[in-house]
Structure 1
Amino acid sequence: MSKRPLDIVILGLSLASSWGNGHATTFRSLLRGVKRLGHNVLFLEREVPWYAGGNRDLPDPDFCDLQFYQGLDDLEDRFAERIRGADAVIVGSYVPDGVAAIDQVLALANGTVGFYDIDTPVTLAKLRRGDEEYLSVRQIPRFDVYFSFSGGRTLDRLQSEYGARRAEALFCSVEAERYRPTGEPPRWDLGYLGTYSDDRQPTLEKLLLEPARRLPECRFVVAGPQYPDTIDWPDNVERIEHLPPAEHASFYSRQRYTLNVTRADMIAAGWSPSVRLFEAAACGTPIISDAWDGLDKLLPGGVAIAENADDVVALLRDRTDEERGSMAAKAKATVLADHTGDARALEFISALRQAAASPAAERKSALA
């Protein structure tokens, strides 16, 4: 099998802006790794006002060619030849007009076509409700490979229930050169980084806001946009509206613990790690998390599980610095070995080559 560099086109929600989404940092880590492996990527991003202007924190990446398009007509007019000639074309979840964009790619592409679902449990929940916002059930069997942010039994479901030819776990990853301990002294006892979500908010209330009320002598922080004005923030909880990726390592390094909160659909699916989990671990910050299947396998011995406010209060009061340090060291070692952008890029390229070589694939390409 040839190991020549691949020409890859990706249509994704955003690469240029990390505002209010976790897709940008996921793509950045993966594609930096892909570039270091010697492959070429054209990333196509729909021009939308909420990811433009001051919210665009990486307008000119040095690891891929980033281009913006105005709509589906513009996409075809300007990039049809690149899509036709690519070794692989990947469409991501939550791409605007995603169903139509996928149909367009399937009609144009001569190489391998894949879907990268950065929201797999949410996607499948939507499809069960008949909601085909960015992916149609009829399209799933047409992909040569379906990359999923969730592993475990979700991969079996994609193949057995939805007809995916090849379902591969492609978890989020961390850029190890950007996420590392800064050595800054602790500022907060417990912090959280994440955009507001209706289904995460009850857990944030239970595992951060209630402990903050019980421990007025401790300091807490919540960073992220879109939190409604109706939330009753305790006086000892600091709010940061938006924290660009360049400031994440400093943010994590100044916490005695960081909190990981998982969306309900992802808890139900299991094996759905958040990029924030790996980022905090790489920074050497001890993690408190809600429980879900697969967490103990992904970061064995590296996370403290909390089911309620009592658990969090006990961790903040009773866990020694040595115990916290030991837990954080285990998580960091695992992440640097298994969950970096370089590790994920190897998995990505390997899966593309295998999909192209599969006799079950309808589409022949030059990947193999």
Structure 2
Amino acid sequence: MSTIAFYGSSLLSSYWNGAATYYRGLIRDLARRGWRTTFYEPDAFDRQRHRDIDPPDWASVTVYPATEEAARAVIAQAARADVVVKASGVGVFDDLLLAGVTAAARPDAVRLFWDVDAPATLAELRTAPDHPLRRTLPALDLVLTYGGGPPVVEAYEEFGARRCVPVYNALDPDTHHPVPADPRFAADLSFLGNRLPDREARVDEFFLRPAERLPDRAFLIGGNGWDSRALPANVRHIGHVSTRDHNAFNVTPRAVLNIARDSMAATGWSPATRVFEAAGAGACLITDAWVGLDMFLKADEEVLVARDGADVAEHVAALTPQRAASIGAAGRRRILAEHTYARRGAEVDAILRAALASRRARSVA
């Protein structure tokens, strides 16, 4: 069995951690393909108090204190793995982890950087010639990203990456699927997302502005940070929504809204986990427009697309239960056919095995 040492934000908690679903779907599928992953996550940002899964049987999880001493201790464990992964956005000692695990990996091990926010990372690289990642890229076998398409691949290669491959978000149908409606989440339109500086203006435009235009309709917003924000009277805020409630949150409202962050929308080819979670539950999804959407869902048949808040309001006002159900069913069929973590896992498995064979051949030579 091949082994992976994965240094990321958190596998056990989705609290302020949008990559959790992505990590779980891929690592779980890789376990079915003969990979054993140890996930190293810091005890930081109150995530361990908000766990939404127990330690799984398809991966080992090491939770370490958010101290430099503890970080150095887990870095040493990289020497035991066939593949060493440093993910972006760990949030604690990122630079130390990147340099440390790259140096600690065995000569025959694959070293890779897994970027779960490529637009933000690349923006940093463009403004910092001495950025630690820029210095480390030549020592890495490859970069994987969870979105970004051709612009991200080209940018990483320009910065010196040997190879960059997007591995998009997807659906795990075992965890995200249709369930009975839950009155707690009743609304005409719902949105789930934490309040972040590079998304708030788009939330104003695509969610709050339609709420103001449709005062007789009910709007629901979930996620952290919105409690301190003034909201229209017809918008209800429910705070953090645990992953165990995502299915009910998605299936209960008439429609669910996806809003990309500024950088993701500008880059394109960057569907959030929410897109696949909602489609997998059979929800009628309304999304802001971004380049590459048609790679995942077809406009007007499998998803409704909005250029601005006025478009969102028009969709909500015109949407009948029958139309919503039809779009939700079509979107679910498309995602199940083409965009599951089983498909993504097969892709990553092939990438890792090829990289491992190449690395071992070079180390022998």
In structure 2, the residue matched to 1:83 is: 78
Partners of 1:60 and 1:267 lie apart in 2 by: 34
Q: Does 1:274 align with 2:272?
A: yes
Distance apart, 1:185 and its partner CA = 6.8
User: TM-score of the superposition, structure 1-length normalised?
Assistant: 0.90
In structure 2, the residue matched to 1:164 is: 161
Partners of 1:40 and 1:149 lie apart in 2 by: 21
Partners of 2:11 and 2:358 lie apart in 1 by: 30
In structure 2, the residue matched to 1:8 is: 4
In structure 1, the residue matched to 2:317 is: 317
Distance apart, 1:26 and its partner CA = 1.5
Q: Does 1:341 align with 2:341?
A: yes
Aligned length: 356
Aligned partners of 1:31 and 1:341 also within 8 Å: no
Partners of 1:125 and 1:270 lie apart in 2 by: 15
Q: Relative contact order, CA 8 A, sep 6+: which one is greater?
A: 1
Correspondence for 1:175 among 151, 172, 177? 172
Partners of 1:128 and 1:331 lie apart in 2 by: 37
151-160 or 256-265, larger mean C-alpha shift: 151-160
Distance apart, 1:45 and its partner CA = 0.7
In structure 2, the residue matched to 1:141 is: 138
293-302 or 238-247, larger mean C-alpha shift: 293-302
In structure 1, the residue matched to 2:34 is: 38
1:36-77 CA-partner distances (Å, limit 9, x unpaired): 223211001112252122x22234222210001234433443
Change (3 A) 1:216 1:155: closer
135-144 or 21-30, larger mean C-alpha shift: 135-144
Q: Does 1:66 align with 2:61?
A: yes
Q: Is the partner of 2:356 in helix, strand or coil? A: helix
Amino acid of the residue matched to residue 217 of structure 2?
Answer: C
1:204-251 CA-partner distances (Å, limit 9, x unpaired): 11222122122222111000002362x221121110111110000011
1:157-211 CA-partner distances (Å, limit 9, x unpaired): 2443111111111112222112111132772110000110122122211222122
User: Unpaired segments of 5 or more residues in structure 2?
Assistant: none
Change (3 A) 1:253 1:37: same
Amino acid of the residue matched to residue 232 of structure 1?
Answer: A
Aligned partners of 1:184 and 1:254 also within 8 Å: yes
Q: Does 1:98 align with 2:77?
A: no
User: Unpaired segments of 5 or more residues in structure 1?
Assistant: none
User: TM-score of the superposition, structure 2-length normalised?
Assistant: 0.91
Amino acid of the residue matched to residue 245 of structure 2?
Answer: E
For 1:283-298, what aligned pairs fall within 5 Å after superposition? Answer: 283-298=281-296
Distance apart, 1:257 and its partner CA = 0.8
Partners of 1:8 and 1:59 lie apart in 2 by: 20
Q: Is the partner of 1:255 in helix, strand or coil? A: coil
Amino acid of the residue matched to residue 82 of structure 2?
Answer: D
1:20-48 CA-partner distances (Å, limit 9, x unpaired): 12022211111111122232110011122
In structure 1, the residue matched to 2:331 is: 331
Distance apart, 1:116 and its partner CA = 0.8
Aligned partners of 2:84 and 2:102 also within 8 Å: no
Distance apart, 1:364 and its partner CA = 3.8
For 1:50-65, what aligned pairs fall within 5 Å after superposition? Answer: 50-53=46-49, 55-65=50-60
Amino acid of the residue matched to residue 334 of structure 1?
Answer: R
Partners of 2:194 and 2:324 lie apart in 1 by: 26
148-157 or 97-106, larger mean C-alpha shift: 148-157
Partners of 2:73 and 2:149 lie apart in 1 by: 40
RMSD after superposition: 2.2
Aligned partners of 1:7 and 1:40 also within 8 Å: yes
Partners of 1:285 and 1:131 lie apart in 2 by: 44
In structure 1, the residue matched to 2:247 is: 249
In structure 2, the residue matched to 1:28 is: 24
184-193 or 139-148, larger mean C-alpha shift: 184-193
